[in-house]
Amino acid sequence: MLPRGRPRALGAAALLLLLLLVGFFLFGRDLEYGRLRGSASLDGELTWDHNRSACVPLRSLQPKCELLHVAIVCAGYNSSRDVITLVKSMLFYRKNPLHLHLVTDDVARNILETLFHTWMVPAVRVSFYNANEFQSQVSWIPNTHYSGLYGLLKLVLPDALPPDLVRVIVLDTDITFASDIAELWAFFAHFSDKQMIGLVENQSNWYLGNLWKNHRPWPALGRGFNTGVILLRLDRLREAGWEQMWKATAQRLLLTLSTTSLADQDIFNAVIKEHPGLVLLLPCIWNVQLSDHTLAEHCYSEASDLKVIHWNSPRKLRVKNKHVQFFRNLYLTFLEYDGNLLRTELFGCPSQPPPRAEQLQQALAQLDEEDACFEFQQQWLTVHRVHLTFLPLDPLPSEAHDVTLVAQLSMDRLQMLEALCSHWPGPMSLALYLTDAETQQFLRFVEASTVLSARSNVAYHVVYREGPLYPVNHLRNVALAQALTSYVFLSDIDFLPAYSLYGYLRASIKQLDLGSQRKVALVVPAFESLHYRLSFPTSKAELLALLDAGSLYTFRYDVWPRGHAPTDYARWREARAPYRVQWAADYEPYVVVPRECPRYDSRFVGFGWNKVAHIVELDAQEYEFLVLPEAFTIHMPHAPSLDISRFRSSPAYRDCLQALKDEFHQDLSRRYGAAALKYLTALQQSRSSA
Amino acid sequence: MLPRGRPRALGAAALLLLLLLVGFFLFGRDLEYGRLRGSASLDGELTWDHNRSACVPLRSLQPKCELLHVAIVCAGYNSSRDVITLVKSMLFYRKNPLHLHLVTDDVARNILETLFHTWMVPAVRVSFYNANEFQSQVSWIPNTHYSGLYGLLKLVLPDALPPDLVRVIVLDTDITFASDIAELWAFFAHFSDKQMIGLVENQSNWYLGNLWKNHRPWPALGRGFNTGVILLRLDRLREAGWEQMWKATAQRLLLTLSTTSLADQDIFNAVIKEHPGLVLLLPCIWNVQLSDHTLAEHCYSEASDLKVIHWNSPRKLRVKNKHVQFFRNLYLTFLEYDGNLLRTELFGCPSQPPPRAEQLQQALAQLDEEDACFEFQQQWLTVHRVHLTFLPLDPLPSEAHDVTLVAQLSMDRLQMLEALCSHWPGPMSLALYLTDAETQQFLRFVEASTVLSARSNVAYHVVYREGPLYPVNHLRNVALAQALTSYVFLSDIDFLPAYSLYGYLRASIKQLDLGSQRKVALVVPAFESLHYRLSFPTSKAELLALLDAGSLYTFRYDVWPRGHAPTDYARWREARAPYRVQWAADYEPYVVVPRECPRYDSRFVGFGWNKVAHIVELDAQEYEFLVLPEAFTIHMPHAPSLDISRFRSSPAYRDCLQALKDEFHQDLSRRYGAAALKYLTALQQSRSSA
């Protein structure tokens, strides 16, 4: 097992050569599509066994660290979730740098651009292409497939992708990898001079044209090909005039056939029927098709044969298949896989680190692991993956005075969502701090809730968990940045606003004639219920009655009165009109502000002082605080969160919080100069009185 | 790609033969250990590169579906957790049936036997061997390694394992697979006639003997071998008189060396130094050793090279290594991997299904997916993986009258544990319903809590989540079955008992002279606080004062008075001595009963009637209900759980619960005959009055 110099190396080279020759002799020629025509394929008696034996590893033939290109068409909210599971499975097995070419609509682009930017996977480059630009090239084709117009866009890839891009693997979003994509890429080496499209045969009987009476599929060779996985030689397609080729075929066929049923797949097959020499047949294990009643199970004889699974049934995971449990578990593995674990360096292949990654690595490396506040510093520097608008969103056109409720939560507050929806009919932008597996629980929770499923103006932004402390202010900033209205109500998830608040706020903004130029923070007075079965007050009068009866309290009256004292509850009781109040130390009211308000300081992680710092910032920027006389919001009781109980009792935790406050005030002085002096003085006073 | 009959098959056979010959020519002879002696190894200038090239896939040489044998020595709570992560990684990549041979102490056996029994992984057989039986063979060897006596037990495997077992792979518990174990097994084919042990060279400088002044390691060839991964030809070892061999060597060396520092590894190396012909050197990628400052990184040049990772540093995951992030992510992948997903059939290899699995499959297949109560039936039939005593337990010897608090919880009630510990100093048996990933959050939570870390009499039993409904009664049964005391207090996680309750219950049991023959259920009256900041009453007098002041209520007085009415709170107020009460419909008190009490009916999943059914069962078996005059427990407020809010509003859910009740009563009639009539009558009365 030890090197003995040259003779050994020569031996290895000889082995490679032998493999190459023998491999080519055995398989190379069969891969030519021409041979298939005279064979068993067309009379329906396929024996799939030999497809397997073609899978001798071919990696060794490829240059190590070769950049592989993958193109995916992706549109809308749901496909954007699907594509992430596909990408996770691909990244789990890949050993090469990848370049993803994503043809997207605006929705998918917004989601995926943010996702990849924050995912920071080394040795993965992502380029976006605007689907709208190419739609006109396919929109004239009548199509009844569930993928809609977007399925057809695969036809325009030779035109849409950069002219110097030669090879690309094209994938549907409902694909799951069970192997290294480089093994698939290796089939490019098997293309003859004339071949330009690599495809797996279709595993359903669709193109045989006998599924029902008068079933008239588009023309195809035998059972046709499936376009869920395609290898494209873009250079050759361009040279051969692909665009003219498929357009001419489609136009001619549409004279007799009314629509395509299977989108791009019908057209690919029709072109191939006319030009069979274009195609290299790929082994069927590279696109095991799980539509109902397919021949897929003849394609593999053991789990280790499977390379790529294609969930091409409209029933998706509920498809009937002999081995569906196996396939489903593979899919669930990646659906729930912690994407953070895919951030590992591809250490055999040198690659440029993703933007920001290098500075971050350096900053993290400079932290002192022995520092008592190490966890705080590390958490602050952590870049969380962000999946914006995890669920479909369909907001109404925003009015000038509209207000979005902004809040953040983790799994243990999910049960607040229904009540919150019943109290706030307006738009919401919520950041959820979840693991990949928890996103699926969240999804099922929303699907099971008629209240939540009915809402189309609630945006859920998933921030993926990483690190021991709750990044409360980063979450707030994510939700705040996604608000689509001119005003935002900065709330917390355990508060239920007055039923009337949404309407009242819009009316107040209009009435007060707040231009977006005016720096105003409207204060919504906060109360708390210690009873968990509260009959919620429907008016200010009812609220005051409950307050007098001792069923409600002003918020944190007993443990943290400074937080809301400046709101002046006594004055509010009598007030008929908005009144101005002055900032004081530790003030942290719930406010309505223009969307362009300052962001939260994201170094405050875990619990404590996170809202206080934001209110200081508002005051430093000379926002007026105006208390609204009819507005109120009530904190609902709950058990302390895991995060809070883990740290509340720790003196080290409080010391770190103090250090954060000090840093914050130093920054404040730098930015606002002498004007910031009052905050420091207030802090010192509060510290000496404590 | 299509079969062309014989010529093709012959070609494939020729390729195999070629591979075999070339492979043997290139590597076969080098694998003989003898050659190593004259090579670079011993002068410390190893070039590891060629180790990699030995990894030409050898699977094709092995019979498909060959049963592979793996032996692991495992003792104690923490190693039992480690071994599961190892097994998950092995199962994830394996394609062969496996037979695990586990040499365990009583603790590990109890944990792992239950785990594998409930895991029901197809094509995995597990045999247990009692470590105690073999300890005397190694206990005479003075040893300072952290693995203690158990590390040494690897020496006795040829003796301990069945005499007809010929080959076995031996693994340490701190191993993670990154590849198919069959590739490792394939090296058995490379053993020469005289070789019987396959090992990877040691990647630290330990055996070079110059780590510090007077560092005198045991003798070894060069840098010696690492025994974290061993291939053993058991037949040859037995024939060669292995036992005499290693004992003679160890005895002779212990005359001059005081102890072994590395347990079995020192002895294996010493024997090999004397008999180098025994060893086949394995490529280093089959045991990449992550102890600090190792040569491991010279062993692989890219991620795809790695086959097996060995966390053999006492620092474990915090070890310093250039690529530790990569290794850590691989480890975390399996640590958090949903073990349920490994239950998939090995469909290329026919195998006997695990015990119970077949009936279960049939029962599940018979369910009607369209039935409104399908989810209930499916949940009831689900076999949950169970990991008993997930954390170390060290209970005091139990007294005759001792009582264990029994309860169950999921992640959203974790924050109750600290308060519960402060209220109940006695033993507890808790079932936790968690995902694999959540167990790690739970572990970190306990480690971060000084209150919880200090307790050694709280047993945590993890039941792994599967299915949409909370299997409340199954969880109760798991916790109940693990109680080690004569009596159990059947509680719920959101109740805090009186501070005095543990002492008072033991005294009462003693005083009432309850032999375990007497069927008595001691009732602990239940109250509730609607305030989440309750100053907990320290006596009955204080409790009554709070009750009178309206700060406390009898439990569910407003929504479900029938549940506790028979306890007779008015009488309790005045009572000075225990008093007997009669069962009535819907009674569900919290009771203390002998550990041998009837189990809960596990068909009640989700929420509703689960305790009621158990109390009916107690009454049917003629348990007396005795209310204790000084006992009380208080329900603490919390937000509704996800499970409850998901279903509480659903009429279909209530219908299914009704169906469960009906089934339960039918069973009751079958088992208790006419005596059970009163329960049915009571049910009908309550239904007509509802």
Complex-level ipTM: 0.81
Please tell me which of the candidates A49, A418, A532 has its beta carbon nearest to residue B530: A532
pLDDT of amino acid B303 = 65
Report how far residue A672's alpha carbon sits from residue B414's, in angstroms, rounded to the nearest whole number: 44
Q: How many CB atoms lie within 10 A of CB B67?
A: 13
Domain span at residue B658 reads 650-689
Report how far residue B2's alpha carbon sits from residue A48's, in angstroms, rounded to the nearest whole number: 7
For the segment A62-75, the average pLDDT, to the nearest whole number, is 92
Same domain, A142 and A264: yes
> Cβ of B11 under 8 Å from any chain A Cβ?
yes
pLDDT of amino acid B646 = 60
Report how far residue B139's alpha carbon sits from residue B133's, in angstroms, rounded to the nearest whole number: 11
Max mean pLDDT among A465-469, B406-410, B676-680 falls in B406-410
- Buried b / exposed e across A37-51, counting CB within 10 Å, b at 16+? eebebeeeebebebb
Q: Do B638 and A638 touch (CB under 8 A)?
A: yes
CA distance A85 to chain B (A): 16
Radius of gyration over alpha carbons of chain A, in Å? Answer: 31
- pTM of the entire predicted model: 0.86
> Cβ of B64 under 8 Å from any chain A Cβ?
yes
CA distance B572 to chain A (A): 26
Sign of CA dihedral A51, A54, A56, A57: negative
Closest CA to B220 of B260, B172, B274: B274
> Cβ of B190 under 8 Å from any chain A Cβ?
no
Q: What is the dihedral of CA A327, A333, A339, A342, to 10 degrees?
A: -80
Report how far residue A493's alpha carbon sits from residue A413's, in angstroms, rounded to the nearest whole number: 7
For the segment A339-348, the average pLDDT, to the nearest whole number, is 88
In a domain, B34, yes or no: no
Task: For residue A25, name the pLDDT band (cuts at 50, 70, 90).
Answer: very low
In a domain, B464, yes or no: yes
Residue A233 has pLDDT above 70, yes or no: yes
Amino acid at A490: L
Same domain, B540 and B498: yes
pLDDT of amino acid B35 = 29
Q: Which residue is associated with the tokens 């974290």?
A: B228
Q: Do B333 and A333 touch (CB under 8 A)?
A: no
For the segment A346-372, the average pLDDT, to the nearest whole number, is 82
Same domain, B615 and B670: no
Please give the angle made by the CA atoms of B68, B71 and B77, to the nearest 5 degrees.
135
Query: By percentage, how much of chain B surpasses pLDDT 70?
Result: 87
A90: helix, coil or strand? helix
> Cβ of B346 under 8 Å from any chain A Cβ?
yes
Radius of gyration over alpha carbons of chain B, in Å? Answer: 31
B11 or A73, higher pLDDT: A73
Per-residue HEC secondary structure of B397-451 comes to CCCCCCEEEEEEEEHHHHHHHHHHHHHCCCCEEEEEEECHHHHHHHHHHHHHCHH
- Tens of pLDDT, residues A559-579: 888 999 999 999 999 999 999
Residues 6+ apart with CB under 8 A from A531: A551, A637, B530, B531, B637
Report how far residue B97's alpha carbon sits from residue B100's, in angstroms, rounded to the nearest whole number: 10
For the segment A500-515, the average pLDDT, to the nearest whole number, is 92
Q: Which residues of A touch B54 (CB under 8 A)?
A: 1
Same domain, A324 and A393: no
B258 or A279, higher pLDDT: A279
Please tell me which of the candidates A342, A415, A642 has its beta carbon nearest to residue B645: A415
Residues 6+ apart with CB under 8 A from B144: B259, B260, B261
Q: Which residues of A touch B468 (CB under 8 A)?
A: 444
Report how far residue B287's alpha carbon sits from residue B289's, in angstroms, rounded to the nearest whole number: 6
In a domain, A6, yes or no: no
Q: Which residue is associated with the tokens 């170390």?
A: B392
A349 or B442, higher pLDDT: B442
Q: Which residues of A touch B51 (CB under 8 A)?
A: 1
Report how far residue B88's alpha carbon sits from residue B108's, in angstroms, rounded to the nearest whole number: 17
Domain closes at, from A340, A372, A407: A340
Report how far residue A75's alpha carbon sits from residue A173's, in angstroms, rounded to the nearest whole number: 10
Cβ pair B597, B477 in contact under 8 A: no
Amino acid at A572: W
Max mean pLDDT among B80-89, B254-263, B652-661 falls in B80-89
If one counts the domains in chain B, the total is: 3
Amino acid at A638: H
DSSP state of B536: -
Report how far residue A272's alpha carbon sits from residue B1's, in angstroms, rounded to the nearest whole number: 18
Strands A308-310 and A175-177: antiparallel
CA distance B6 to chain A (A): 12
- Tens of pLDDT, residues B369-420: 888 888 899 999 999 999 999 999 998 887 889 999 999 999 989 989 999 9
For the segment A613-629, the average pLDDT, to the nearest whole number, is 97
pLDDT of amino acid B13 = 45
Residue A12 has pLDDT above 60, yes or no: no
Query: By percentage, how much of chain A surpasses pLDDT 90?
Result: 61
- Tens of pLDDT, residues A637-660: 877 666 666 666 677 888 888 899
Strands B590-594 and B487-490: antiparallel
A626: helix, coil or strand? strand
Cβ pair A200, A312 in contact under 8 A: no
In a domain, B26, yes or no: no
For the segment A164-169, the average pLDDT, to the nearest whole number, is 98
Q: How many CB atoms lie within 10 A of CB B143?
A: 20
Per-residue HEC secondary structure of B311-333 comes to CCCCCHHHCCCCCHHHHHHHHHH
Closest CA to B482 of B407, B549, B414, B547: B407
Report how far residue B277's alpha carbon sits from residue A376's, in angstroms, rounded to the nearest whole number: 56
Task: For residue A293, name the pLDDT band (cuts at 50, 70, 90).
Answer: low
Max mean pLDDT among A210-219, A386-395, B556-565 falls in A386-395
Sign of CA dihedral B174, B179, B184, B185: positive
Residues 93-112 in A contacting B (C-alpha not used; CB under 8 Å): 95
Measured distance between the N- and C-terminal CA atoms of chain A, rounded to whole angstroms: 71
Task: For residue A303, name the pLDDT band (cuts at 50, 70, 90).
Answer: low
Q: Which residues of B touch A49 (CB under 8 A)?
A: 3
Please tell me which of the candidates A281, A415, A437 has its beta carbon nearest to residue B642: A415
In a domain, B129, yes or no: yes
CATH number of the domain at B121, please.
Answer: 3.90.550.10
For the segment A191-211, the average pLDDT, to the nearest whole number, is 90
Measured distance between the N- and C-terminal CA atoms of chain B, rounded to whole angstroms: 71
pLDDT of amino acid A48 = 28
Report how far residue A380's alpha carbon sits from residue B470's, in angstroms, rounded to the nearest whole number: 36
CA distance A120 to chain B (A): 15
Q: Which residues of B touch A33 (CB under 8 A)?
A: none
For the segment B159-171, the average pLDDT, to the nearest whole number, is 98
Q: Do A333 and B341 touch (CB under 8 A)?
A: yes
In a domain, A375, yes or no: no
Mean pLDDT value across chain B: 86
Q: What is the dihedral of CA A232, A236, A240, A241, to 10 degrees?
A: 60
Report how far residue A294's alpha carbon sits from residue B138's, in angstroms, rounded to the nearest whole number: 59
Residues 6+ apart with CB under 8 A from B596: B516
In a domain, A351, yes or no: no
Q: Name beta bridge partners: A368.
A: none
Mean pLDDT value across chain A: 86
Report how far residue B61's alpha carbon sits from residue B13's, in angstroms, rounded to the nearest whole number: 11
pLDDT of amino acid B384 = 97
Q: Which residues of A touch B343 (CB under 8 A)?
A: 329
- Tens of pLDDT, residues B22-66: 333 333 333 332 223 222 232 232 222 333 333 333 444 567 889
B537 or A209, higher pLDDT: B537
DSSP state of A93: H
B10 or B228, higher pLDDT: B228
DSSP state of A178: S
Q: Do B333 and A349 touch (CB under 8 A)?
A: no
Please tell me which of the candidates A412, A415, A533 has its beta carbon nearest to residue B530: A533
Same domain, A273 and A223: yes
CA separation, residue B352 to residues B52, B96, B99, B101, B347 (Å): 37, 13, 13, 18, 11
Sign of CA dihedral B204, B210, B214, B219: positive
- Tens of pLDDT, residues B496-550: 999 999 999 999 999 988 776 789 999 999 999 987 778 899 999 999 999 999 8
Residue A44 has pLDDT above 90, yes or no: no
Same domain, B335 and B392: no
Same domain, B636 and B661: no
Q: Do B15 and A3 touch (CB under 8 A)?
A: no
Same domain, A511 and A559: yes
What's the token pair of residue A158? 């030779």
Residues 307-336 in B contacting A (C-alpha not used; CB under 8 Å): 323, 325-326, 329, 332-333, 336
Residue B210 has pLDDT above 80, yes or no: no
Same domain, B211 and B152: yes
Cβ pair A508, A522 in contact under 8 A: yes
Residue B331 has pLDDT above 80, yes or no: yes
Same domain, A221 and A256: yes
pLDDT of amino acid B516 = 61
Strand order in the sheet with B288-289: B175-177, B308-310, B288-289
- Tens of pLDDT, residues B430-485: 999 999 999 999 999 999 888 999 999 999 999 999 988 899 999 999 999 999 99
Report how far residue B231's alpha carbon sits from residue B33's, in angstroms, rounded to the nearest whole number: 14
Helices and strands per DSSP (H, E), number in chain B:
26, 23
Q: Which residues of B touch A12 (CB under 8 A)?
A: 26, 53
Residue A507 has pLDDT above 50, yes or no: yes
In a domain, A187, yes or no: yes
Same domain, B669 and B586: no
- Buried b / exposed e across B535-560, counting CB within 10 Å, b at 16+? ebbeebeebeebbeeeebbbbeeeee
Domain closes at, from A340, A359, A374: A340
For the segment A417-437, the average pLDDT, to the nearest whole number, is 96
Same domain, A401 and A311: no
Q: Which residues of A touch B47 (CB under 8 A)?
A: 2-3
